[in-house]
Chains A and B, each alone.
Chain A
Amino acid sequence: MPVLLEATLKSVVLIFVLLTGFAYLTLTERKVLARLQARIGPNRAGPLGLLQPVADGLKLIFKESITPAGVDKPIYFLAPVLVAVPAIIVFAVIPVGKGPAFQLASEINVGALYIVGVMGVAVYGITLAGWASNNKYAALGGLRASAQVISYELGMGLSIVAVVLMASSASLADIVEAQMPGNILGWFIFRQPVAAAIFAITAMAELARAPFDLVEAEQELTAGFMTEYSGMKFALFFMGEYVKMIAVSALFATFFLGGWSGPFVDQAPILSVVYFTIKVVACLLLMIWTRATLPRMRYDRLMGFGWKVLTPVAIANVIVTAFLIALGVPGYQ
Chain B
Amino acid sequence: MNDFLPVFILLFLATALAVLVIFISILFGPRRRANNPMKIQPYESGMRAIGQGQRRFPVRFYLIAVLFILFDIEVIFFYPWAVAFRQLGWFGLIEMLIFVGILLVGYFWIWKKGALEWETMDK
Question: Is A139 located at the chain interface by the 8 A CB criterion?
Answer: yes
Interface secondary structure of B, over-half rule: helix
B31 within 8 A of A: yes
Of A68, A92, A151, the residue contacting B41 (CB under 8 A) is A68
Query: Provided the pairs A64-B32, A154-B71, A322-B85 are in contact, do residues A227 and B40 lie with their beta carbons within 8 angstroms?
Result: no
| B35 at interface by CB-CB < 8 Å | no
- Per-position contact with B for A110-150: 1 when CB-CB < 8 Å, else 0? 00111000000000000000010111111110010011001
Give the residues in chain B near A137, CB-CB below 8 Å: 43-44
Closest A residue to B51 by CB, please name it: A136
In the bound complex, how far is the Cα of B76 from the Cα of A113, in angstroms?
A: 8
B109 interface contact, C-beta 8 A: no
Q: Are B19 and A81 in contact (CB under 8 A)?
A: yes
Pairwise interchain contact A151-B18, C-beta atoms closer than 8 A: no
Number of interface residues of A (CB under 8 A): 87
Cβ contact within 8 Å between A236 and B10: no
Count contacts on B: residues with CB < 8 A to the other chain.
70
**A150 touching B22, Cβ below 8 Å:** no
Give Cα A231 to B31, complex, Å.
Answer: 12
Q: How far is the CB of A5 from chain B (nearest CB, A)?
A: 10
**Which residue of A77, A143, A303 has the most chain B CB atoms within 10 A of its CB atom?**
A303
Is chain A's interface secondary structure helix, strand, loop, or mixed overall?
helix
Q: Which residue of B lies closest to A6 (CB)?
A: B6
Known: A70-B52, A81-B15, A319-B100. 11 other contacts (CB 8 A): A61-B25, A64-B29, A69-B42, A92-B6, A108-B4, A154-B72, A303-B116, A303-B118, A311-B107, A322-B85, A326-B90
Q: Residues of A with Cβ closer than 8 Å to B? A: 3-4, 7-8, 10-12, 14-15, 60-70, 72, 77, 80-81, 84-85, 88-89, 91-93, 104-105, 107-108, 112-114, 131, 133-140, 143, 146-147, 150-151, 153-154, 157-158, 161-162, 164-165, 168-170, 222, 227-228, 231-233, 235-236, 239, 299-300, 303-304, 307-308, 311-312, 315, 318-319, 322-323, 325-326
Give 21 A-B contacts (CB < 8 Å), ordered by A residue: A4-B5, A15-B14, A15-B17, A64-B30, A80-B18, A84-B17, A85-B15, A92-B6, A131-B54, A135-B43, A139-B54, A139-B55, A143-B59, A146-B61, A150-B72, A151-B68, A164-B79, A168-B82, A222-B45, A231-B25, A326-B93
| B contact set with A: CB distance below 8 Å | 2-7, 9-11, 13-15, 17-19, 21-22, 24-26, 28-32, 34, 37, 39-45, 52-55, 57, 59-61, 64-65, 68, 71-72, 75-76, 78-79, 82-86, 89-90, 92-93, 96-97, 100, 103-104, 107, 111, 116-118
